[in-house]
Chain A
Amino acid sequence: MLRLPPFQYLAPKNLAEAAHMLSQEGERAMLVAGGTDLYPNMKRRQFTPPVLIGLRGIPTFKNISGSAEEGMHIGAGVTLTTLAEHPLLLAHYPALATAAGSVSTPQLRNVGTIGGNLLLDTRCNYYNQTEFWRHSIGYCMKKDGDICLVAPGSPRCWAISSADTAPVLVSLGASVRLVSVRGERIVPVQDLFRDDGIHPYTKATDEILSEVILPSATGWQSVYLKLRRRGSFDFPILGVAVSLSASEDGTVSEVRIVLGAVASYPVVAKDAATLLIGQRLTPETIEAASTSAARRAKPLDNADLTMNYRKQVATVYIRRALSHFLNSNYIK
């Protein structure tokens, strides 16, 4: 069994105390909620923080409020199981419920949180290995090394954004609230990410992601499709999230197609969306949009199954995600 490195565990009782502790401890500290991503990484020594600040004891982190009409507020500590089973989400934000329900296993969804999933460390099968394995191959630039082992000539890290909820929240146009001793700010989820495998988040080190804010679902439909080898539990090797609103005659007024697990951040396929806006969904328009969106998928050989395959089925998955709206009679 791999063992955790020693660390000090702080248990703030409220958000202000947590923010204060984080500001005091600075770079020595990391935040932990469910710990389903952090603890395995600590066991493998990707992280060895001397201090962990546990967010489990903050009551407001578990709140869910709002409605489909006015939008919803979801505390960062709400578990993925709660999200997957929440009646309002199932009815009005089905992509989010699907994505939350597709993360890992029931046991891990019972402790894993929305905040933790959104801030999941990027993944790469050269990086998510034990200390022994990484030592054996000579380490990579994301941790303890100098080069990218996937693309040795590359000046950057290509670790993959692998959170199921991330592309969905981007496609829904959701935001997050970031709180620190300096104050707080609300940031669109899309802006939380940057194209950098090593530092994939724009969140400052003293900021705490306290809640996710969903916009109104009125007029919107959403879907999430996930590719993985093993149906029971796996990280996505492709995620397709689409949110769409259409006018009464069936022309698409707004659509956001977002791809997960194809880059270090959730990739928004803007060109593809542009092709659909003002059009009705037909097999032809869907095919054109899918082909365009799939061009944005540039998988590398650092996740499961072959990269050519992941690239090639992206078109199919995007087409199926869009076709979902045809099957659900998007024109009421």
Chain B
Amino acid sequence: MSKQEQNRAQPVHPYTIVGTPRAKVDAYAKVTGRAVYADDILLPRMLYGRILRSPHAHARILSIDTSRAKKLPGVLAIITGEDLPQKFGILPSSQDEYALAIDKVRYVGDPVVAIAALDPDILDEAIKLIQVEYELLPALMSIDEALAHPEVKINDEARIGNIHKAVSYEFGEIEAGFAEADYIREDWFYYEGNNHAPLEAHACVAQWEPNPSDPIGGKLTLWTSTQTPHYVHRELSKVLGIPQSHVRVIAPHVGGGFGGKSDPFSHEICASELSRRTGRPVKITCTREEVFLLHRGRHPVKMWIKTGVRRDGSLTAMHFRSFLDGGAYGSYGIASTYYTGALQTVTYTLPCYKFEGMRLFTNKPPCGPKRGHGTTQPRYAVEVHLDKIAFDLGIDPVELRRRNLIEPYSYTVNGLRITSCALGECLDRVVERSGWNSFHADKQIVAAGLHAENGASSAVTTVKRGMGLAASSYICGAGKPIYWNELPHSAVQIRLDRSGGVTVYCGATDIGQGSTSILAYIVAEELGIQIGRIHLQTADTALTPVDLGSYSSRVTFMAGNAAIAAARKLKEQLFQVAAERMQVSPERLYAVNDVIYDEDDPGVTLSFEHAVQFAEARFGALVAAGSYTPPEGIHGDYKGAGVGPSPAYSYSTCVAQVAVDEETGEIVVEKLWLAHDVGQSINPLLVAGQVEGGAYMGYGEAVMEQQIFRKGRHKIPSLLDYKLATTLDTPEIETILVEIPDREGPFGGKEAGQGPLNPVIPAIANAVYNAVGVRVDEVPITSDKVFKALRNQSQGKGMGLQPSPIETPSPWPTRLIKWQPEEHQSAMKRQSDHTSLQEGVL
């Protein structure tokens, strides 16, 4: 038995449920089609709604005539912008959207009119009868155009031209850092951006229940495919002018989100308003094209990096600039802008770091968060850039990274607190499993002409293989909420019933990642009960305590800790009565599999049901709540320090093996090895599912998906033409879970939903270079680009295909914030040591 197998065979943790692979609690319902999604909901007297969207990328609305449509039999209500004049937006700092356009449309797909009718066929007819008169305005469709034409103002949120947000930071002394460098390299990169493409298109059903005796007039319920019912709740209330107490938002089963269902959307507000006006339920289900148009997908980002290194490969300084193509509205864009810079410091130690970022408005669907929010693009750029530096210096890319790994339990130069970090282990494991060293040794021998594999046949093949590597990190939940408040980020209530039933209530929203299952595992582990007796009530703003939502990879960490806190309170009550009953001290009690027993004399037991009944008799109704708020002292004290901090960071490494056809540029990704530092997996099967999902999605972004606009509109808004990888295209994926528990994570657990995507794209990019010796410094890396890069190289036109640089605005259009970490860090470190002692280890 190898050492590795021995390690696996031994239990590495003391848990009975946590750490064991098992199916999701809703697996059967999902695979048999019983699970109810928003579009499955049918209510008596329900109407169908639809949104008429702008056909123009940028235009002034001169008039809207709905009179003919209103007369069509079966049309019950039509609303326009003036019916919903309250602005909204996910971020308090970007309140720039209307449910329906007022005065102006800013992209093809901008909502203009909403209709409710008896059936979809009537909607088809009615929508054609609506006349909207537009005056066309010039449309700006790229970062360069948005910068070049400040006189064409797309969105009033932009203070200067079309610059939505500009930021500028210097941490440490950047000039001194570059002065220490033996070698400095600069590169430009472009990441084209893409859509989340969840299988379930956005859908909602709104039901207004009138109540004349209530001064508000009634209550609203909205079932919607969302990742963030809490934020939808707030924005609905604001736009409709109905107090939050009278609004209920429920997320039913959600068929994937990946960040695309994190905003409050026009269709949700319009369905609600149409329901209020008609007194009947209204359903709006978006088409696939509408999913592409409402978008909020990954920002296209152009990036410039300058890095200084010593001869031994240690980094001395990094200067990073990002230009984000935000589309027409703010969405999460300000956060996205910060995220393109904030986490550069979390993977490798940077002694000093300068970051300048700006987001531009363009006449395209608004961009927002997609899996890896704002960090995927810079991670790609940095990891390819470092690969080039390694090549320039003649250092093994693995070695270069190893020399710069961030230290566990440390602070970064921009003030972020790092806790557990198994990046070094991830690097070792992925290098070992992929056979990295022997692959590259063999390749060198082949290159030197000393060896021909498979005899003569290799002489004629046009297919070249390559292997590339990259590393990354990601947050386990945003350290700060989206709107400023001091409330918990997540809360869980547990109710024990005298029948032995256990109901867990939590606002956390399962979008397929398995967060509902995680709640069940954690409560079952803590109470020592079987999962089957747990009822789960989630994502319902009237029933469940607030969880901020399924974004920023926060749910397992935050709701998990809240669930532990709630369960422990109940366990204490159960053990108190059990101890008396069993006549042993509570410290000796242990609960597992629905039985409480004496650890010293396991024959002395009490069943869970009986314990619950005794406890209810003693304490009354058994209900407990727990909540979670991220710790203080995890970030710097400068303006903008709220984006980037997290209670913990996950780490990932990826090796990609590709085969590239030198004649056609066609790429086959043959295998991905992905090591992920998850702290402790609550359910390793679900963690592996998330890692594989990240690998699959990263693969698609790296070589396939293209979000192209032509003549002002999305070129290919369909799942036939927008190339998502299918199961058949997806390469073999080897998942390696690295489990070194985090001190603050639930059972030591960290995130797995987003981080593993990040290293995949640069690993593939680096592998393509390793295979054919050309760099395509933009994503996706498609066959036509590789072909062109190979042509360029053979014609002596450089190393491949590089994006055109952006003329950098001078001066950068915002005030530079300079921040020195030393004093702040030592103060924070003292405080942090103190708190971790107090709280102990979970």
Residue positions of A touching B, CB distance < 8 A: 1-3, 6, 105, 125, 128-130, 132-133, 135-137, 149, 227, 229-234, 304-306, 308-309, 312-313, 316-317
Q: What is the bound-complex CA distance between A232 and B700, given in angstroms?
A: 13
Q: Do the beta carbons of A312 and B787 come within 8 Å of each other?
A: yes
A40 and chain B: residue at smallest CB distance: B720
- The A-contacting residues of B in range 148-202, CB under 8 angstroms, are 201
Q: Chain A interface: which of B75-83, B262-270, B711-719?
A: B711-719
Q: Do the beta carbons of B783 and A231 come within 8 Å of each other?
A: no
Q: Do the beta carbons of B784 and A3 come within 8 Å of each other?
A: no
**Which one of B120, B663, B704, B715 lies within 8 Å of A229 (CB-CB)?**
B704
Q: Do the beta carbons of A306 and B784 come within 8 Å of each other?
A: yes
B102 at the interface (CB under 8 A from A): no
**Which one of B121, B287, B711, B783 lies within 8 Å of A1 (CB-CB)?**
B287
Given contacts A125-B715, A229-B723, A233-B726, A313 and B108 within 8 Å (CB-CB):
no
B133 at the interface (CB under 8 A from A): no
- The A-contacting residues of B in range 767-789, CB under 8 angstroms, are 782-784, 787-788
Q: Do the beta carbons of B729 and A232 come within 8 Å of each other?
A: yes
- The A-contacting residues of B in range 26-59, CB under 8 angstroms, are 53, 55-56
A235 and chain B: residue at smallest CB distance: B720
Neighbouring A residues of B787 by C-beta, 8 Å: 309, 312-313
Q: Do the beta carbons of A230 and B108 come within 8 Å of each other?
A: no
Q: Do the beta carbons of B287 and A2 come within 8 Å of each other?
A: yes
Q: Do the beta carbons of A132 and B784 come within 8 Å of each other?
A: no
B826 at the interface (CB under 8 A from A): no
Given contact pairs A132-B55, A136-B55, A306-B784, a sample of 4 additional A-B residue pairs in the complex whose CB atoms are under 8 Å apart = A128-B720, A231-B729, A232-B728, A304-B723
B289 at the interface (CB under 8 A from A): yes
Q: Do the beta carbons of B725 and A133 come within 8 Å of each other?
A: no
Chain B: minimal CB distance from A110 (Å): 16
Chain B: minimal CB distance from A32 (Å): 19
Neighbouring B residues of A3 by C-beta, 8 Å: 120-121, 124
Q: What is the bound-complex CA distance between A305 and B729, given in angstroms?
A: 18
Given contacts A1-B287, A230-B729, A313-B664, A305 and B783 within 8 Å (CB-CB):
yes
B108 and chain A: residue at smallest CB distance: A136
Chain B: minimal CB distance from A113 (Å): 19
Neighbouring A residues of B289 by C-beta, 8 Å: 130, 132-133
Given contacts A3-B121, A316-B664, A136 and B716 within 8 Å (CB-CB):
no
Q: What is the bound-complex CA distance between A125 and B725, given in angstroms?
A: 20
**Which one of B124, B717, B723, B727 lies within 8 Å of A234 (CB-CB)?**
B723
Given contacts A3-B121, A309-B787, A313-B787, A125 and B729 within 8 Å (CB-CB):
no
Neighbouring B residues of A305 by C-beta, 8 Å: 782-784
Q: Do the beta carbons of A136 and B728 come within 8 Å of each other?
A: no
Q: What is the bound-complex CA distance between A128 and B721, given in angstroms?
A: 9
Q: Do the beta carbons of A304 and B285 come within 8 Å of each other?
A: no
Neighbouring A residues of B663 by C-beta, 8 Å: 313, 316
Interface centre among A149, A229, A308 (most CB of B within 10 A): A229
Q: What is the bound-complex CA distance between A229 and B784, given in angstroms?
A: 10
Number of interface residues of B (CB under 8 A): 34
22 contacts between A and B (CB under 8 A): A1-B201, A1-B285, A6-B121, A125-B716, A128-B720, A130-B717, A133-B717, A137-B55, A137-B713, A227-B664, A229-B704, A229-B723, A229-B782, A230-B725, A231-B729, A232-B726, A232-B728, A304-B723, A305-B782, A309-B665, A309-B783, A316-B663
**Which one of A136, A230, A312 lies within 8 Å of B713 (CB-CB)?**
A136
B 208-240 binary contact with A (CB < 8 Å = 1; else 0):
000000000000000000000000000000000
Q: Which label, helix, strand, loop or mixed, suits the secondary structure of the A interface?
A: loop
Chain A: minimal CB distance from B484 (Å): 39
Neighbouring A residues of B788 by C-beta, 8 Å: 309
Q: Do the beta carbons of A125 and B728 come within 8 Å of each other?
A: no
Q: Do the beta carbons of A132 and B53 come within 8 Å of each other?
A: yes
Q: Which 8 A-B pairs have the closest CB atoms?
A: A136-B55, A309-B784, A232-B728, A232-B726, A306-B784, A305-B784, A232-B729, A230-B723
**Which one of A125, A135, A309, A317 lies within 8 Å of B721 (CB-CB)?**
A125
Q: What is the bound-complex CA distance between A131 and B831, given in angstroms?
A: 62
Interface centre among B108, B721, B782 (most CB of A within 10 A): B721
Neighbouring B residues of A6 by C-beta, 8 Å: 121
Neighbouring B residues of A308 by C-beta, 8 Å: 784
Neighbouring B residues of A1 by C-beta, 8 Å: 201, 285, 287
Neighbouring A residues of B728 by C-beta, 8 Å: 231-232
A233 and chain B: residue at smallest CB distance: B726
Residue positions of B touching A, CB distance < 8 A: 53, 55-56, 108, 120-121, 124, 201, 285, 287, 289, 663-665, 704, 711, 713, 715-718, 720-721, 723, 725-729, 782-784, 787-788
Q: What is the bound-complex CA distance between A2 and B201, given in angstroms?
A: 12
Q: What is the bound-complex CA distance between A106 and B727, given in angstroms?
A: 13
Q: Do the beta carbons of B783 and A230 come within 8 Å of each other?
A: no
A323 and chain B: residue at smallest CB distance: B460
A316 and chain B: residue at smallest CB distance: B663
Q: Do the beta carbons of B721 and A137 come within 8 Å of each other?
A: no
Chain B: minimal CB distance from A291 (Å): 14
Interface centre among A136, A231, A232 (most CB of B within 10 A): A136
Q: What is the bound-complex CA distance between A3 and B108, given in angstroms?
A: 22
Q: What is the bound-complex CA distance between A306 and B56, given in angstroms?
A: 25
Q: What is the bound-complex CA distance between A128 and B720, given in angstroms?
A: 10
Interface centre among A137, A227, A317 (most CB of B within 10 A): A137
Neighbouring A residues of B782 by C-beta, 8 Å: 229, 305
Q: What is the bound-complex CA distance between A151 and B166, given in angstroms?
A: 40
Q: What is the bound-complex CA distance between A34 and B649, given in angstroms?
A: 52
Q: What is the bound-complex CA distance between A133 and B726, given in angstroms?
A: 26
Neighbouring B residues of A135 by C-beta, 8 Å: 55
Neighbouring B residues of A230 by C-beta, 8 Å: 704, 723, 725-726, 729
Chain A: minimal CB distance from B368 (Å): 22
Q: What is the bound-complex CA distance between A130 and B727, given in angstroms?
A: 27
Neighbouring B residues of A130 by C-beta, 8 Å: 287, 289, 717-718
Neighbouring A residues of B711 by C-beta, 8 Å: 137, 149
Chain B: minimal CB distance from A121 (Å): 14
Neighbouring B residues of A317 by C-beta, 8 Å: 664
Neighbouring A residues of B120 by C-beta, 8 Å: 3
Q: What is the bound-complex CA distance between A313 and B784, given in angstroms?
A: 9
Q: What is the bound-complex CA distance between A199 and B782, given in angstroms?
A: 33
Neighbouring B residues of A149 by C-beta, 8 Å: 711
Interface centre among B201, B718, B726 (most CB of A within 10 A): B718
A230 and chain B: residue at smallest CB distance: B723
Chain B: minimal CB distance from A50 (Å): 15
Q: What is the bound-complex CA distance between A133 and B787, given in angstroms?
A: 31
Chain B: minimal CB distance from A69 (Å): 35
A306 and chain B: residue at smallest CB distance: B784
B715 and chain A: residue at smallest CB distance: A125
Q: What is the bound-complex CA distance between A233 and B722, given in angstroms?
A: 12
B725 and chain A: residue at smallest CB distance: A230
Chain A: minimal CB distance from B522 (Å): 37
Q: What is the bound-complex CA distance between A313 and B664, given in angstroms?
A: 6
A227 and chain B: residue at smallest CB distance: B664
Neighbouring B residues of A132 by C-beta, 8 Å: 53, 55, 289
Chain B: minimal CB distance from A44 (Å): 9
A104 and chain B: residue at smallest CB distance: B720
Chain A: minimal CB distance from B133 (Å): 15
Q: What is the bound-complex CA distance between A312 and B713, given in angstroms?
A: 28
Q: What is the bound-complex CA distance between A3 and B784, given in angstroms?
A: 35
Q: What is the bound-complex CA distance between A229 and B726, given in angstroms?
A: 12
Neighbouring A residues of B287 by C-beta, 8 Å: 1-2, 130
Q: What is the bound-complex CA distance between A129 and B55, given in angstroms?
A: 13
Q: What is the bound-complex CA distance between A309 and B287, given in angstroms?
A: 32
Q: Do the beta carbons of A136 and B56 come within 8 Å of each other?
A: yes
Q: What is the bound-complex CA distance between A234 and B201, given in angstroms?
A: 22
Chain A: minimal CB distance from B658 (Å): 14
Q: What is the bound-complex CA distance between A125 and B708, given in angstroms?
A: 12
Q: What is the bound-complex CA distance between A149 and B718, given in angstroms?
A: 19
Q: What is the bound-complex CA distance between A233 and B724, given in angstroms?
A: 10
Q: What is the bound-complex CA distance between A301 and B184, given in angstroms?
A: 41
Q: Do the beta carbons of B721 and A304 come within 8 Å of each other?
A: yes
